[in-house]
Amino acid sequence: MFGHALDEYKNDLGEIKHDEKALKEKLSRVRFNYNFCHCFSSGFILSFFVGVFIAYVLKMEMNAYSFASIMAICMIALFVQWIIVYAECICYEEMKLAEDELEKINNTVQPNSKK
């Protein structure tokens, strides 16, 4: 579904694969993007705006034009929600890739000394 975006991200990670500081910065940015998208995709903010919108609509007189406008706004809201969920999924996968690369670096720097 979102393989192209992940392939580009893997190429970016390949360039900084052995630089722990750069990987941590990349992971920090991806975590911020993930948390931002997750905030909107969790439904609270969208539900809040839908509630405010419905309260506004209840005060209006309904006719065919206003009903069509309301349906269009709801469709736009669903489309935006889909885009945000899509972005959240991409950010999650990118975050896992960066964490795996950091774990590989940490395991090579500090080998496990089991007896």
Q: How far apart (Å, rounded) are the C-alpha atoms in residues 7 and 88?
A: 16
Mean pLDDT of 45-70: 74
Mean pLDDT of the chain: 76
Categorize the per-residue pLDDT at 33 as very low, low, confident or very high, splitting at 50, 70 and 90: confident
pTM of the shown model: 0.65
15 vs 26, residue with greater confidence: 26
Which DSSP state fits 16?
Answer: T
- Parse the chain into domains and list their residue ranges: 20-107
Between CA 31 and CA 39 the distance in angstroms is 12
- CA angle 31/6/35 to nearest 5° reads 20
Instruction: Specify the range with the lowest mean pLDDT, choosing from 1-5, 14-18, 64-68.
Output: 1-5
The more confident residue out of 45 and 74 is 74
Which residues have C-beta within 8 Å of that of residue 19, sequence separation ≥ 6? none
